[in-house]
Amino acid sequence: MRNGINFNHLEVFLSLARTLSFSETSKELGIAQPVVSKQIKALEEQFQRQLFFRTRQQVTLTDEGRELLASSRALYEQLCFRLNKYQKNDEEISGIVRIGCLLEVGEQIFTPIFSDLKKKYPQIKIHVKFMSTDQISAGVKSGDLHIGIMSQKVILESIRTYPIISEEIMMVTGKNSKFQKKNVLEQPFVLYREDDPLFEFYLRQVFPKTHKSKLNIDVMINSHKSMAEFIMKHEAIAILPSLSIREHLKSGKIKDVGPKSIEASLYMIHQELEYPDELVRVVSEFLLKQTKRKQEQWK
């Protein structure tokens, strides 16, 4: 049901409530002073309330005027925000976007995407930090990071989570290894670190009755690239994500020796806001689009 409110009149009211001067509002809005008076008069007739006291010396808000100001200013600003969002050209977006990303996938997959982002939006300054999943999650929650790329979902009302790219967790070794699939658990293993999350995830899913303490863990290297290089030169097995060893698998330098691979996803997260930052929206949409394109190229 229409109530006949003219938002131009409301704009004039909010300006006059701030300046308390018909001449200043006239200059601010670029309209003649008699038009300001006419629109305020029309609004007062609309509400059947006097909104301002007018004397030769000053203009002041009445109690009804102060009540209208308190109830309408935030709504008007929200309306302007929503309208401006649709009018703003994405190419004009500028500012600093802070992104937290896992080291391995950041170096191998996302750094080229960040480079493409900078080419498309040269006014955007990109600050990337390689961090752990816990650090990324905490950074996005606190607002220190705008966007996070991580290996786990975040289930919170205040955080928006998108699956951004899929991969397989694999048990692999070098192409010249003599290991047989039937006795892989008897072989030396290379871990990322003592509490290697990929290793423990794979063990739970594929060998649920096997405890890590029973395995022969020979080497720990906190780099997927270095782990891959090690197993190509030594008789050892590693649990690695397919994205980190994609080229080695394609060339045949590394082979899959596990009973099966486990599908997993990487996730992009950012704060869930009623009125999201345009910079975050543009960057997150770009990352989703580019990772989807890359995933299709790898098939």
DSSP state of 234: S
Structure tokens at 91: 């190419």
Query: 10-65: per-residue pLDDT in tens?
Result: 889 989 998 999 999 988 888 889 999 999 999 888 889 899 999 888 999 999 98
- Residues facing 147 on adjacent strands: 99
Q: Residue 89: what pLDDT? A: 58
Domains and CATH numbers, the chain: 7-87 (1.10.10.10), 93-166+265-298 (3.40.190.10), 168-262 (3.40.190.10)
pLDDT at position 158, please?
A: 86
Q: What number of H helices and E strands is found in the chain?
A: 11, 11
In terms of DSSP bridges, do strands 124-130 and 159-174 run parallel, antiparallel, or are they unpaired? Answer: unpaired
Residue 153, number of CB atoms within 10 A of its CB: 14
Q: Residue 137 CA to chain centroid, in angstroms? A: 11
- Which range, of 22-31, 78-87, 101-110, 245-254, averages the lowest pLDDT? 78-87
* Average pLDDT of the residues of the chain: 88
Three-class secondary structure of residue 126 per DSSP: strand
Residue carrying structure tokens 């990071």: 145
pLDDT digits (tens, 9 = 90+) for 222-237: 999 999 999 999 999 9
pLDDT band at residue 1 using 50, 70 and 90 as cut-offs: very low
| Sequence-ordered list of residues with C-beta below 8 angstroms from that of 188, at least 6 positions apart, any chain | 216, 217, 218, 219, 234, 235, 236, 237
